[in-house]
Amino acid sequence: MEFRTGLGSAWLDLLATLIGRYQREQTDLLADPAALRAWLAEHDLAPAGRITAADVDRVREVREALHAVAVATIAGRRPKSDDARVVAAALALDRPPTLRAGAAGLRAEHPASARVALARLVRSAVDTLTGPDRGHLRTCGDDTCSGIFLDLGGRRRWCSAQRCGVRVRVRAHRARAHAQDGDGGTA
Ligand SMILES: [Zn+2]
Protein backbone atom coordinates (compact mmCIF):
# COMPACT_ATOMS: atom_id res chain seq x y z
CA MET A 1 0.00 0.00 0.00
CA GLU A 2 1.26 3.45 -0.85
CA PHE A 3 0.58 6.28 1.55
CA ARG A 4 0.76 9.96 0.73
CA THR A 5 3.68 11.78 2.27
CA GLY A 6 5.13 15.18 1.58
CA LEU A 7 2.15 17.40 2.30
CA GLY A 8 4.30 19.21 4.86
CA SER A 9 3.48 17.39 8.08
CA ALA A 10 2.42 13.93 9.30
CA TRP A 11 -1.04 15.18 10.33
CA LEU A 12 -1.61 16.51 6.81
CA ASP A 13 -0.61 13.11 5.44
CA LEU A 14 -3.16 11.60 7.86
CA LEU A 15 -5.92 13.77 6.36
CA ALA A 16 -4.97 12.37 2.94
CA THR A 17 -5.69 8.77 3.98
CA LEU A 18 -9.35 9.21 2.98
CA ILE A 19 -9.29 9.27 -0.81
CA GLY A 20 -12.25 10.94 -2.53
CA ARG A 21 -13.56 12.75 0.56
CA TYR A 22 -15.58 15.09 -1.70
CA GLN A 23 -16.62 12.33 -4.09
CA ARG A 24 -19.44 9.81 -3.96
CA GLU A 25 -17.00 6.87 -3.82
CA GLN A 26 -14.31 6.91 -1.19
CA THR A 27 -11.38 4.71 -0.32
CA ASP A 28 -10.13 4.71 3.24
CA LEU A 29 -6.48 3.71 3.41
CA LEU A 30 -6.86 3.14 7.16
CA ALA A 31 -9.13 0.16 6.55
CA ASP A 32 -8.12 -1.98 9.53
CA PRO A 33 -5.67 -2.18 12.44
CA ALA A 34 -2.87 -3.53 10.20
CA ALA A 35 -3.23 -0.60 7.81
CA LEU A 36 -3.24 1.89 10.68
CA ARG A 37 -0.09 0.28 12.12
CA ALA A 38 1.64 0.48 8.73
CA TRP A 39 0.70 4.16 8.38
CA LEU A 40 1.89 5.00 11.91
CA ALA A 41 5.15 3.09 11.33
CA GLU A 42 5.72 5.06 8.13
CA HIS A 43 5.52 8.23 10.24
CA ASP A 44 7.70 6.93 13.11
CA LEU A 45 4.67 6.61 15.40
CA ALA A 46 4.17 2.84 15.63
CA PRO A 47 2.69 2.23 19.09
CA ALA A 48 4.18 -0.24 21.56
CA GLY A 49 0.76 -1.79 22.25
CA ARG A 50 -1.68 -3.50 19.90
CA ILE A 51 -4.11 -1.61 17.71
CA THR A 52 -7.82 -2.47 17.86
CA ALA A 53 -10.72 -1.90 15.48
CA ALA A 54 -12.00 0.72 17.95
CA ASP A 55 -8.68 2.57 17.58
CA VAL A 56 -9.18 2.63 13.80
CA ASP A 57 -12.70 4.07 14.25
CA ARG A 58 -11.38 6.71 16.61
CA VAL A 59 -8.53 7.74 14.32
CA ARG A 60 -10.96 8.09 11.42
CA GLU A 61 -13.38 10.14 13.52
CA VAL A 62 -10.63 12.49 14.73
CA ARG A 63 -9.16 12.70 11.21
CA GLU A 64 -12.48 13.92 9.79
CA ALA A 65 -12.99 16.44 12.61
CA LEU A 66 -9.45 17.69 12.04
CA HIS A 67 -10.06 18.04 8.30
CA ALA A 68 -13.23 20.04 8.91
CA VAL A 69 -11.49 22.29 11.46
CA ALA A 70 -8.55 22.82 9.08
CA VAL A 71 -10.82 23.72 6.14
CA ALA A 72 -12.70 26.21 8.34
CA THR A 73 -9.43 27.72 9.59
CA ILE A 74 -8.03 28.13 6.06
CA ALA A 75 -11.29 29.77 4.98
CA GLY A 76 -11.28 32.04 8.06
CA ARG A 77 -14.56 30.56 9.31
CA ARG A 78 -15.61 29.39 12.78
CA PRO A 79 -15.18 25.60 13.05
CA LYS A 80 -18.20 23.57 14.19
CA SER A 81 -18.09 23.16 17.94
CA ASP A 82 -18.63 19.37 17.64
CA ASP A 83 -15.50 19.10 15.50
CA ALA A 84 -13.49 21.33 17.85
CA ARG A 85 -14.62 19.16 20.78
CA VAL A 86 -13.49 15.94 19.07
CA VAL A 87 -10.08 17.49 18.37
CA ALA A 88 -9.75 18.79 21.94
CA ALA A 89 -10.65 15.39 23.42
CA ALA A 90 -8.01 13.66 21.26
CA LEU A 91 -5.42 16.27 22.23
CA ALA A 92 -6.08 15.70 25.93
CA LEU A 93 -4.31 12.31 25.67
CA ASP A 94 -1.05 13.93 24.58
CA ARG A 95 1.95 13.42 26.84
CA PRO A 96 5.49 14.54 26.14
CA PRO A 97 7.55 11.54 25.02
CA THR A 98 10.61 10.41 26.94
CA LEU A 99 13.69 11.55 25.03
CA ARG A 100 17.08 9.96 24.73
CA ALA A 101 20.26 10.80 22.86
CA GLY A 102 20.70 8.19 20.13
CA ALA A 103 23.75 7.56 17.96
CA ALA A 104 22.11 9.46 15.08
CA GLY A 105 20.51 12.26 17.12
CA LEU A 106 17.63 12.82 19.47
CA ARG A 107 15.11 9.97 19.78
CA ALA A 108 11.58 10.13 21.15
CA GLU A 109 10.12 6.99 22.72
CA HIS A 110 7.40 5.27 20.71
CA PRO A 111 3.85 6.10 21.77
CA ALA A 112 2.35 3.54 24.17
CA SER A 113 -0.88 3.17 22.19
CA ALA A 114 -2.60 4.23 18.99
CA ARG A 115 -4.54 6.86 20.98
CA VAL A 116 -1.30 8.41 22.22
CA ALA A 117 0.12 8.34 18.68
CA LEU A 118 -3.04 10.07 17.50
CA ALA A 119 -2.68 12.66 20.27
CA ARG A 120 0.84 13.51 19.03
CA LEU A 121 -0.51 14.04 15.52
CA VAL A 122 -3.30 16.21 16.88
CA ARG A 123 -0.81 18.29 18.88
CA SER A 124 1.18 18.92 15.73
CA ALA A 125 -2.05 19.85 13.92
CA VAL A 126 -3.15 22.22 16.68
CA ASP A 127 0.30 23.85 16.75
CA THR A 128 -0.02 24.57 13.04
CA LEU A 129 -3.69 25.59 13.11
CA THR A 130 -3.20 28.04 15.99
CA GLY A 131 0.34 29.22 15.23
CA PRO A 132 2.08 31.40 12.64
CA ASP A 133 2.22 28.60 10.03
CA ARG A 134 -1.55 28.50 9.66
CA GLY A 135 -1.29 31.29 7.08
CA HIS A 136 0.69 28.87 4.91
CA LEU A 137 -1.97 26.16 4.89
CA ARG A 138 -3.69 25.73 1.52
CA THR A 139 -6.50 23.64 0.15
CA CYS A 140 -5.77 21.88 -3.15
CA GLY A 141 -6.33 23.94 -6.32
CA ASP A 142 -8.54 21.11 -7.58
CA ASP A 143 -11.97 21.76 -6.02
CA THR A 144 -12.85 18.06 -6.19
CA CYS A 145 -9.81 17.17 -4.04
CA SER A 146 -9.92 17.54 -0.25
CA GLY A 147 -6.12 17.69 0.07
CA ILE A 148 -4.55 20.25 2.41
CA PHE A 149 -0.87 21.11 2.36
CA LEU A 150 1.64 23.48 3.88
CA ASP A 151 2.96 25.96 1.34
CA LEU A 152 5.93 27.67 2.95
CA GLY A 153 7.28 28.83 -0.43
CA GLY A 154 3.99 30.46 -1.45
CA ARG A 155 3.97 28.93 -4.96
CA ARG A 156 2.39 25.52 -4.59
CA ARG A 157 -1.12 25.00 -6.06
CA TRP A 158 -1.76 21.30 -5.73
CA CYS A 159 -1.43 18.70 -3.01
CA SER A 160 0.08 16.60 -5.82
CA ALA A 161 1.29 18.16 -9.06
CA GLN A 162 1.37 14.72 -10.73
CA ARG A 163 -2.15 13.78 -9.69
CA CYS A 164 -4.24 16.91 -9.11
CA GLY A 165 -2.30 19.32 -11.34
CA VAL A 166 -2.43 16.94 -14.30
CA ARG A 167 -6.09 16.07 -13.68
CA VAL A 168 -7.15 19.74 -13.74
CA ARG A 169 -5.14 20.41 -16.92
CA VAL A 170 -6.68 17.37 -18.64
CA ARG A 171 -10.17 18.51 -17.60
CA ALA A 172 -9.53 22.05 -18.90
CA HIS A 173 -8.17 20.66 -22.18
CA ARG A 174 -11.23 18.44 -22.65
CA ALA A 175 -13.55 21.39 -21.91
CA ARG A 176 -11.74 23.50 -24.55
CA ALA A 177 -11.88 20.69 -27.12
CA HIS A 178 -15.58 20.21 -26.39
CA ALA A 179 -16.26 23.93 -26.79
CA GLN A 180 -14.45 23.92 -30.17
CA ASP A 181 -16.56 20.95 -31.37
CA GLY A 182 -19.61 22.96 -30.39
CA ASP A 183 -18.47 25.85 -32.60
CA GLY A 184 -19.13 23.68 -35.68
CA GLY A 185 -15.51 23.54 -36.76
CA THR A 186 -14.92 27.25 -37.15
CA ALA A 187 -11.76 26.99 -35.05
ZN1 LIG B 1 -5.21 17.59 -4.58
Delineate the domains of the chain, giving CATH numbers in brackets.
10-182 (1.10.3300.10)
* Chain segment 59-78, per-residue pLDDT in tens: 999 999 999 999 999 999 99
Helices (H), 43-143: 53-75, 81-91, 114-130
Return the minimum-mean-pLDDT range out of 2-6, 12-16, 66-70, 96-100: 2-6
What residues have a C-beta under 5 A from ligand 1, the ion? 140, 142, 145, 147, 159, 164
The pLDDT assigned to 162 comes to 82
112 and 48 Cβ atoms separated by less than 8 Å: yes
CA of 91 to the centre of ligand 1 (A): 27
pLDDT class of 181 with cuts at 50, 70, 90:
confident
Which candidate, 91, 131, 97, 138, places its Cα nearest to that of 115?
91
Q: Which residues pair with 138 in a beta bridge?
A: 149
CA of 146 to the centre of ligand 1 (A): 6
CA of 144 to the centre of ligand 1 (A): 8
pLDDT class of 119 with cuts at 50, 70, 90:
very high
CA of 159 to the centre of ligand 1 (A): 4
CA of 169 to the centre of ligand 1 (A): 13
CA of 152 to the centre of ligand 1 (A): 17
The pLDDT assigned to 186 comes to 46
Using CA atoms of 66, 70, 72, 75 in order, give the dihedral in degrees to the nearest 10: -170
CA of 16 to the centre of ligand 1 (A): 9
Model's pTM, two decimal places? 0.89
